[in-house]
Structure 1
Amino acid sequence: MDSAIILVFFLGYLAIVFEHPLRLDKTVPALIMAAVAWALLALGFHYGLLSVVDTHEHIYSLVGAHDAHGEGHHLAEEGFNNTLLHHLGKTAEILIFLIGAMTIVEIIDLHRGFEVLKSYVKTKSKRKLLWIVGILGFILSAIIDNLTATIVLVTLLRKIVPDKKERLWFVALIVIAANAGGAWSPIGDVTTTMLWIGNKVSAAGLIEYLVLPSIACFVVPFVIAAYFMKPFRGEITLDVNENIQAGKLLSSQTMLFLGLGAIVFVPVFKTVTHLPPYLGMMLSLGVVWLVSEYIHPEEDFSHSRREMYSAHKALSRIEMSSILFFLGILMAVAALESLVYATVIRDGAEVQVGTLRYVAEVLDRVIPNQDVVVILLGFASAIIDNVPLVAASMGMYEMPMDSKLWHFIAYSAGTGGSMLIIGSAAGVAAMGMERIDFIWYLRKIAWLALVGFLAGAAVFLAITAVFHS
């Protein structure tokens, strides 16, 4: 039965990896994989064929239990149900947080708040433009997440760089900047949000340990591109006198700064109250929603046009398939984490562990250096979605909050995806919006992303060597 559960996960994972050749939304295999894995886990548990382990390493089993009304039987079933509810609760925290953040970003976009960013671009120099959009991408991704930042800046570049061949180079570098910027912020990437909500890292610890490596990951490729690569020499055709006000509304600037401030407020809320981040996001969404109900986007604003700028409209624009994908993949990984797979020797005694913990034990034996394992995780995230990789790593290791391992995982999973255009949500978004060719990115940009990734990793290892010496 345990082999069947692992096989289901493996086949589902393959379907997710090859979603483009299969022409199948990755949400479909993620949902099926999660439901079937838990169904097999439940059947195996109730027929006494396997055991489950909760997050506190308590083992629950019906093996050898014959009395359906016995206390042991009841406690085991309760343990199984509580394990399922615990994983669902932790997953729901992440999903509620993401829904709140995505809604705030959509409200900003409805009020054309991102049009305000165009006022920062007043240059014809390709080199200066590269640095401007790169810095914007690095900062924005730390606030509104790397995916949204990429979409905003690609839209902006379409209005600034009319030549698609020229624009592709800028877009490709934005992917690197956005992923680097998202790695040091608890709200900048889904994986850092998962680690933050899972109490693996703190907001302050993430910033302290990762801001310099992330800057290195961003700056090194941009220095090479800006000063040594031909596509970023010379000038572009840019109408610097373009009327910026034309695309803005009366509410654009207000909603931009209110929305960004509301998202940034969430880590502050968690630090002050010690409550889960999703509660802070609910408060922020409520405030932004409240303001959006009464603000006037236009001079002659009528009640009939209110729906165009309402939070209800923003909610309808949220990509629910992404939310359901996260639900499926996180619950599928939770099933693997809960399945008791093998026995290991710990402190001279035999201990039963879940599948993911067993994988961690095997990796420690084969590759004793955890830094090498995490760097390999970064390379793997360029090929495989980093969400399940990080979810799996959270189930593999037991380390205290803000340990070196969690910070390095956050960096590697967040920035390693830049090495392939399909390796991150930001890259996939850019690929879809600009029809970027996979081979073109592999030949022209992948090496830059690799250099940035290794530079940031070197800075991180140097910082931790000093701090932990």
Structure 2
Amino acid sequence: MFKYLISFSMFSITLFANENQIPDLTSTWVGFATLIIFIIGYYFVANEEKYHMDKAIPALFIGIFSFLLIAVYYYFNGLDIHLVHDESEKVILEIAEIFFFLFVAMTYIECLLHMHVFDALKYKLISRGYTYKKLFWLTGLIAFFLSPIADNLTTALILSTVLITIEKENKEFLVPSAINIVVAANAGGAWSPFGDITTLMAWTAGKGSFSDFIFLFPASIIGYFITAFLLSRFVPTSKPVFDSSKEEKLQMAIGAKVVIFLGFITLLSAVISHQILDFPAMWGMMFGLTLLKIYSHLLSIRYGSDHLNIFRAMSKIENNTLMFFFGILAAVGALYFVGWLTLLSSVYNPNVLGPTLSNIGVGFLSAIVDNVPVMSAVLKANPDMNTSQWMLVTLTAGIGGSLISFGSAAGVGVMGKLKGIYTFSAHMKFAWTILIGYFVSIGIWYFQFIVLNIN
């Protein structure tokens, strides 16, 4: 996939300064250095299992070091260093919004784990005698229809937690099921204006109405079903081991249902905060965290401080996942600042690739770079496209992230939950099933928006 990034990047050398008068540095030593550092760093991210190096380490290095290199270049070449300062502050703000959003979502999940919500769900699933294949389809469908409401990352985290409570060792079940959840969560989020950060960005930028996104439902679900069907062929038909005499029937702790309800209130607050009040979505999430803390205090008065300890739940959060996001978003911010991501405005030219091929390519690029910064770059470039093309790039950026395990927030979250099981190499063995579903989704889009002229 890296060859796409390198070949596409050559187009950006012809671009000039943007509206903020930030010079194009793609043809300078610092421009090539940031690109090379990014590629090398991502090599180590992709080979986390091979080198036994946490993916957060190379991600943080390329993100922090790239900006330092740019600052040094500006300083010694007499450029306006304040431009680097202002850009770094923008990147920090973007990271903070995502960071705290994920932080609250992960806190809720850890609380639900502590209150045995997923243990109770696991008992209900396996006690009914479902086979691995039925569990595969059940978790996938839940992910697809929960994602448009809860967002793809939160959905993937919840369902991957269910997976690991059902089965902890059987990779023949866990790997295809983990991929299934990632694909379902990303596909489900692609047809909802607030099901994914990328769709949310496009919606708030006025690139499509609410109904325009809903029209992506056929492309999303049919493409997902194709991938899920192919993946299901590799899932065993046996049943999880279940011995009612040995398997403890855990009940949800007192107050668990209220925590679930508060979780929905938190997500609703995030949507209202962003869509109506024009606040960052994380503001609504932090409000939900406040409600959770208040409720935990009330529970502690009656049942003791260990019944629901929020800070203990926070201590169990996968901090390496958060650090990975920090590093990789900083790295992408550096690539954008020197001018590499502005290539998107040139490839959309009809004399180069044109909108359709460029938007299909965005899906592959989002799998490498991450769909959020790629979509941000497309919106900043603001190529001249009609609604149907904006829906296509929303679709491809959303589902294209599933092509590589770390190409989407959902994939990164599941990698954190299923360490040593759901890895880059494990994902790539089944990537062909996702690629087929990806092109099926594009075919459905073409039939709807081009053949039937829905735009």
Range that drifts further, 245-254 or 35-44: 35-44
Taking the aligned partners of 1:162 and 1:80, their CA distance within structure 2 comes to 46
Q: One-letter code of the match for 2:225?
A: V
Tell me the residue number matched to 1:275.
Answer: 279
Q: One-letter code of the match for 1:256?
A: I
Query: Aligned with 2:303: secondary structure?
Result: coil
What pairs with 1:294-443 in structure 2 (closer than 5 Å)? Answer: 294-295=298-299, 301-303=303-305, 305-306=306-307, 309-339=308-338, 354-358=339-343, 360-362=345-347, 364=349, 367-383=352-368, 385-386=370-371, 389-390=374-375, 392-395=377-380, 397-398=381-382, 404=388, 407-421=391-405, 423-424=407-408, 426-427=410-411, 429=414, 432-433=418-419, 435=421, 442-443=428-429
Taking the aligned partners of 2:220 and 2:328, their CA distance within structure 1 comes to 27
**Contact 2:355/2:385, CA 8 A, preserved across alignment:** no
1:314-343 Cα deviation digits (max 9, x unpaired)? 22222333333323332333333333xxxx
1:264-292 Cα deviation digits (max 9, x unpaired)? 33213333323332222222221222222
Q: Report the alpha carbon displacement of residue 44 of structure 1 after superposing the two structures with TM.
A: 3.5
Range that drifts further, 4-13 or 237-246: 237-246
- Identity %, equivalent residues: 27
Structure 2 unaligned spans of 5+: 1-24
**Contact 1:175/1:418, CA 8 A, preserved across alignment:** yes
**Contact 2:208/2:391, CA 8 A, preserved across alignment:** no
- Larger relative contact order (Cα-Cα within 8 Å, sequence gap ≥ 6): 2
Q: Report the alpha carbon displacement of residue 125 of structure 1 after superposing the two structures with TM.
A: 4.8
**Contact 1:378/1:416, CA 8 A, preserved across alignment:** yes
Tell me the residue number matched to 1:179.
Answer: 186
Taking the aligned partners of 1:324 and 1:161, their CA distance within structure 2 comes to 28
Tell me the residue number matched to 1:32.
Answer: 61
Q: Report the alpha carbon displacement of residue 380 of structure 1 after superposing the two structures with TM.
A: 4.1
Tell me the residue number matched to 2:142.
Answer: 136
Tell me the residue number matched to 1:460.
Answer: 445
Structure 1 unaligned spans of 5+: 51-60, 62-76, 340-353
**Match of residue 212, structure 1, among 205, 209, 218:** 218
**Contact 1:185/1:203, CA 8 A, preserved across alignment:** no
Taking the aligned partners of 2:442 and 2:212, their CA distance within structure 1 comes to 14
Q: Report the alpha carbon displacement of residue 249 of structure 1 after superposing the two structures with TM.
A: 0.9
Taking the aligned partners of 1:198 and 1:398, their CA distance within structure 2 comes to 14
Taking the aligned partners of 1:391 and 1:199, their CA distance within structure 2 comes to 10
Q: 1:45 to 1:422 in 2, by over 3 A?
A: closer
Give the RMSD, CA atoms, in angstroms.
4.0
Is 1:14 paired with 2:40? Answer: yes
**TM-score, with structure 1 as normaliser:** 0.73
1:16-54 Cα deviation digits (max 9, x unpaired)? 23232444333333333333333343344344455xxxx
**TM-score, with structure 2 as normaliser:** 0.75
**Contact 1:420/1:446, CA 8 A, preserved across alignment:** yes
Taking the aligned partners of 1:182 and 1:113, their CA distance within structure 2 comes to 24
Q: 1:22 to 1:4 in 2, by over 3 A?
A: farther
Taking the aligned partners of 2:446 and 2:178, their CA distance within structure 1 comes to 29
**Contact 1:111/1:255, CA 8 A, preserved across alignment:** no
Q: 1:240 to 1:260 in 2, by over 3 A?
A: farther
1:239-284 Cα deviation digits (max 9, x unpaired)? 6899885242112222123213321332133333233322222222
**Match of residue 290, structure 1, among 288, 294, 297:** 294
Q: Report the alpha carbon displacement of residue 294 of structure 1 after superposing the two structures with TM.
A: 1.3
Taking the aligned partners of 2:275 and 2:56, their CA distance within structure 1 comes to 33
Aligned residues: 420
What pairs with 1:47-196 in structure 2 (closer than 5 Å)? Answer: 47-48=76-77, 81-118=85-122, 121=125, 122-125=128-131, 127-158=133-164, 160=166, 164=170, 166-168=172-174, 169-185=176-192, 188-189=195-196, 195=201
Q: One-letter code of the match for 1:411?
A: L
Query: Aligned with 2:349: secondary structure?
Result: helix
Range that drifts further, 263-272 or 284-293: 263-272
Q: One-letter code of the match for 1:460?
A: W
Taking the aligned partners of 1:109 and 1:270, their CA distance within structure 2 comes to 28
Q: One-letter code of the match for 1:174?
A: I
Taking the aligned partners of 1:378 and 1:424, their CA distance within structure 2 comes to 11
**Contact 2:34/2:335, CA 8 A, preserved across alignment:** no
Q: Report the alpha carbon displacement of residue 145 of structure 1 after superposing the two structures with TM.
A: 4.8
Taking the aligned partners of 1:241 and 1:139, their CA distance within structure 2 comes to 35
Q: One-letter code of the match for 2:421?
A: R
**Contact 1:115/1:252, CA 8 A, preserved across alignment:** no
**Contact 1:138/1:177, CA 8 A, preserved across alignment:** yes
Q: One-letter code of the match for 1:313?
A: R
Q: Which has the larger radius of gyration?
A: 1
Tell me the residue number matched to 1:73.
Answer: none
Q: Report the alpha carbon displacement of residue 400 of structure 1 after superposing the two structures with TM.
A: 9.0
1:79-124 Cα deviation digits (max 9, x unpaired)? 6544443343333333233323332333333323334534763353
Range that drifts further, 356-365 or 261-270: 356-365
**Contact 2:132/2:236, CA 8 A, preserved across alignment:** yes
Q: One-letter code of the match for 2:183?
A: I
